[in-house]
Chains A and B, each alone.
Chain A
Amino acid sequence: MDTQSAEVGVEEGPNKIFISQQQVVDEEVQAKVEMLIAELHGTKHHPPNDPDAQKLDHGFHFFKTNIFDAHPEYFSELAKGQSPKFLVIACSDSRVSPSVVLNFKPGEAFVGRNIGNMVPQFDQLRHTEIGAVIEYAVKSLEVDNILVMGHSRCGGIERLMTLPDYTQTYDFIDEWVKIGLPAKKKVLQEAGDLPFAEQLTLCEKESVRNSMVNLLSYPFVRNAVVNGTMIVRGGYYDFVNGSFEQWKMCTH
């Protein structure tokens, strides 16, 4: 009983003082008061005028309540270690999360995401980011499959196919998408007469194949593939038509 009334006092007290002394609400003061109340309650709190922070908190709360707490054994096992069967290289595009599109559950897929889902050739100076992802997946986690997943309406591929652009340059984007130049070259050679939109689709798929080939320039990938312990796969998610196709690399 005592605690209850103390809490009420804590909440109502500062607010009462606040309201009685000022007619016009001062946002900053209001925020400070609310934070103080939250601290006294011992609850986490974000500034009231940060809806984005609140969105993140709500998102986690949804996950925690409906998924994490609903499967305690699954998640306690997972906390001990992960053993995904897939490494997926996907685009950073907000519409193509592999967890969503391929219904991967926590623990099923180790994921690297970048502009245009690209895998450059082995390069210890220029490409440590992707190199580290692949190395960890193949050497430490020993994944059975690497899936490079392309998609429709890819901004990275569009930029690649638009270059050179003398009206606008970027610090990084142009240099990065050039990883896909072999794909662009192939498309222009073989389908240069097709409309640009069709060339884009062809290049999106061709770039996946180019990345698949580049994977073999990593010795640990090549060894696993040659030993038959890992398969390199390609995929293409078309969110305009709602389809997914996949293919794999064969060795002989």
Chain B
Amino acid sequence: MQVMSSSPSLSPAFNNFSGAGKFSYEFGLKLRLKDEEPDKEEEEEEEEEEEEEEDNMGSESYEEAIAALSKLLSDKADLGSVAAAKIKRITTELEAAVADQTKFDPVKRIETGFLHFKKEKYEKNPDLYGALAKGQSPKFLVFACSDSRVCPSHILDFQPGEAFIVRNIANMVPPYDKTKYSGVGAAIEYAVVHLKVENIVVIGHSCCGGIKGLMSIPDDGTTSSDFIENWVSICAPAKTKVKSESNELSFSEQCNNCEKEAVNVSLGNLLTYPFVREAVVNKSVALKGAHYDFVDGKFSLWNLDFQISRFHPL
């Protein structure tokens, strides 16, 4: 694996990082794509193919060796116990080596993933990506859960440039608080004031671990996590509502209701941000709630209507 630095002027400072004590950086695999011309890429692909072939050949020869050794063990039943034990040990080591070669490689996974995107999307839509490189103008701000199964790009087929997306545990929007919730505030502020999105959509989902966590917090309020329970308590009003209205339902049904009620709590919290309230009143931003059920394959969507009526003096 080649170790290359990405920026000569900064690399010396990065190879030995003193701040965190015993940890340091290593510049791992750097894809050469950005410096290459198209024909060099082909060469690269060939090289990669060759490497792959070598790997495959390697595992083939391992497997052949294992097969031969196993055969030896079974054929020569009268082998001395020491010899047999040795053969067994070697066989086990070889099997482990084969398993290693097919083990998940995160670096390769990331590399392959990007190459797929580059070939199938980036290079096939030069106009779109050329325009996007200059700037973004998404119409949607979306709050979705961090859950690996509910990415809005998948479930709502958002294309690059269409949706500004915040993802956190249980897709929650906390109320305006410059100290406690600057991250969410910054995202909403950037989307509404700077990007001028037209919709804010909060999407809940089935089997949400965060909501289950909220529903599992004991009544005396004792928590055992560093952050999670504190964070999901943002939607405690949803839990209260669900428990009071559907106490006879099973726990999982209550959780399902809470997933939707929590979306409504978040929608209400959005209105505590003055720039959101103003935009909603002006009708330049619409607030929507949604719930994605990946058990049944369903999606429901609803609006939050908010207006301030004319003041009539008595």
**Which residues of A lie under 8 Å from residue B168 when comparing CB positions?**
112, 114, 129-130, 132-133
**Which residues of A lie under 8 Å from residue B299 when comparing CB positions?**
56-57, 60, 64
**Which residues of A lie under 8 Å from residue B237 when comparing CB positions?**
none
Task: Name the distance in Å between A127's Cβ and chain B's nearest Cβ.
Answer: 7
Q: Are A78 and B294 in contact (CB under 8 A)?
A: yes
Q: Are A111 and B157 in contact (CB under 8 A)?
A: no
Q: Are B294 and A79 in contact (CB under 8 A)?
A: yes
Q: Quick one: given A99-B154, A155-B194, are A191 and B228 in contact (CB under 8 Å)?
A: no
Contact with A along B149-170 (1 / 0, CB 8 A): 1111111111011111111110
Q: Are B136 and A242 in contact (CB under 8 A)?
A: no
**Which residues of B lie under 8 Å from residue A247 when comparing CB positions?**
6, 25-30
Q: Are A173 and B138 in contact (CB under 8 A)?
A: no
CA distance A244 to B181 in the complex (A): 31
**CB within 8 Å of A: which of B65-87?**
none
**Which residues of B lie under 8 Å from residue A97 when comparing CB positions?**
151-153, 158, 160, 165
- For chain A, the count of residues having a C-beta within 8 Å of the partner chain is 108
**Which residues of B lie under 8 Å from residue A216 when comparing CB positions?**
20, 23
Q: Are B199 and A52 in contact (CB under 8 A)?
A: yes
CA distance A84 to B27 in the complex (A): 25
CA distance A67 to B136 in the complex (A): 27
Which residue from A86, A92, A106, A145 sits with its C-beta under 8 Å from B164? Answer: A92
**Which residues of A lie under 8 Å from residue B193 when comparing CB positions?**
170
B contact face: mostly helix, strand, loop, or mixed: mixed
Task: Name the distance in Å between B92's Cβ and chain A's nearest Cβ.
Answer: 22
Q: Does A62 contact B (CB under 8 A)?
A: yes
Size category of the binding interface on chain B: 35 or more
**Which residues of B lie under 8 Å from residue A94 when comparing CB positions?**
136, 138, 158, 160-165
Q: Quick one: given A99-B153, A102-B113, A249-B23, are A113 and B165 in contact (CB under 8 Å)?
A: yes
Q: Does B56 contact A (CB under 8 A)?
A: no
**Which residues of A lie under 8 Å from residue B240 when comparing CB positions?**
none
Q: Does B247 contact A (CB under 8 A)?
A: no
CA distance A234 to B151 in the complex (A): 21
CA distance A171 to B303 in the complex (A): 27
Q: Are A176 and B182 in contact (CB under 8 A)?
A: yes
Task: Name the distance in Å between B40's Cβ and chain A's nearest Cβ.
Answer: 13
Q: Quick one: given A57-B301, A59-B157, A242-B118, are A250 and B26 in contact (CB under 8 Å)?
A: yes
Q: Quick one: given A106-B151, A249-B25, are A114 and B110 in contact (CB under 8 Å)?
A: no
CA distance A248 to B26 in the complex (A): 6
Q: Quick one: given A79-B295, A238-B34, are A172 and B178 in contact (CB under 8 Å)?
A: yes
Task: Name the distance in Å between B267's Cβ and chain A's nearest Cβ.
Answer: 15
Q: Are B10 and A191 in contact (CB under 8 A)?
A: yes
Among A7-15, A20-28, A34-42, A202-210, the stretch in contact with B: A202-210
Contact with B along A114-144 (1 / 0, CB 8 A): 1100000000111111111111110110001
CA distance A135 to B112 in the complex (A): 28
CA distance A63 to B181 in the complex (A): 33
Q: Quick one: given A126-B180, A176-B183, are A82 and B19 in contact (CB under 8 Å)?
A: no
Question: Which B positions have Cβ atoms within 8 angstroms of A?
Answer: 6-7, 9-10, 13-14, 17, 19-20, 22-31, 33-34, 104, 106-107, 109-114, 116-118, 121-123, 129, 132-133, 135-136, 138-140, 146-158, 160-169, 174, 178-191, 193-194, 198-199, 201, 206-207, 209-210, 225-228, 230-232, 275, 286, 288, 290, 292, 294-295, 297, 299-301, 303
Known contacts A102-B113, A245-B6; 10 further A-B pairs (Cβ under 8 A): A52-B288, A59-B157, A75-B294, A97-B165, A112-B168, A114-B186, A128-B227, A243-B34, A244-B118, A246-B29
Top 8 A-B pairs, shortest CB-CB distance: A243-B34, A172-B185, A131-B227, A176-B186, A102-B113, A59-B156, A132-B231, A103-B113
Can you list 18 A-B contacts (CB < 8 A)? A52-B140, A56-B156, A94-B160, A101-B114, A103-B114, A110-B146, A110-B148, A111-B167, A115-B183, A115-B187, A128-B231, A133-B167, A145-B106, A177-B186, A186-B13, A216-B20, A246-B28, A249-B23
